[in-house]
Amino acid sequence: MADQRVHPRADSPPRDSVSSSGTDFAMKLYQPSSDHPVQPPPGTCVIQIPRDQIYRVPPPENEYKFRNYTRQSKRRSRRCRCCFWMLALIAVVAVLAGVAVGVFYLVIRPQTPRYSIDALTFSGFNLTSSTIASPGIDVAVRADNPNKRIAIDYRAGGYAVVYHGGLKLCDGELPALLQPRRNVTVIEAALRGPGLVLGTEARDAIVREQRAGSVPLRLNLRSPVRLGVGDVMTWTITVKVRCDVTVDRLAAGAKIVSKSCDFGVKLW
């Protein structure tokens, strides 16, 4: 077989020289010149990017957002600290108040007063007519203060009301007085009605109850009081007493058939 060889032509340039000449040409073509900038070849899309984005400098709005976030974080931190100290102060005050109440209870040993109806005296209840001109009820309420160290100061402005069902019979003011420690006091009040007009049903019901010897009534007492421990007086509180009492008749010499009283306090 004949030996086939490829011989380079004499006029073809060497490969290394071609490569180096192409590189030099490209470098010369795209080498920037301060006097005459090289224009890109036709059909080339040029995208211009700001220098601050090339060097990754954050935009101004990012700085505003960062400062705003930092400011909000500081405000939240201050708010949290204020809430913490406020809650801590409330907790300390609550603990001290609890300790004070406990010490007061252990030292003073307060006991609730007891109330009961001692007597009821009726006048002016003429049931032969539907109009009762001037009904009157004299009330005597027994108040028992069992406390060793607490006095009870009954202030002016207390009042009492007597009801038969939903009908108000009489009302009046309670006297102001100071009840000492370990004392039993009878509080007397004269209750009057300005004029009472009974309907036929109400008058007939009272007449039937008197014949049966059982007329149910309700006495409501309400009085502002202060509690005194030594020379120290508390703020004014309101004592409310409700007594359910049954008498045999609405006349002089009436007898109490049954009685019971409930006691309540309004602190504010």
Under the banding of pLDDT at 50, 70 and 90, the label for residue 108 is confident
Enclosing H/E stretch for 158 = none
Query: Using an 8 Å Cβ cutoff, are 223 and 238 in contact?
Result: yes
| pLDDT tens column, 165-224 | 889 999 999 999 999 999 999 999 999 988 788 888 888 999 999 999 999 999 999 999
Q: Which residue has the higher pLDDT, 125 or 46?
A: 125
Greatest CA separation found in the chain? Answer: 164
> Per the structure block, which two tokens stand in for 112?
């609730």
| pLDDT tens column, 6-47 | 455 555 555 544 444 444 544 554 455 555 566 767 767 777
Domain layout of the chain by residue ranges: 114-266
What average pLDDT does the segment 127-146 reach? 89
What pLDDT shows up at residue 73? 62
What pLDDT shows up at residue 18? 47
The count of other CB atoms within 10 Å of the CB of residue 216 is: 14
What pLDDT shows up at residue 123? 93
Confidence (pTM): 0.65
> Per the structure block, which two tokens stand in for 76?
């939240």
The count of other CB atoms within 10 Å of the CB of residue 226 is: 15
Q: Which CATH class is domain 114-266?
A: mainly beta
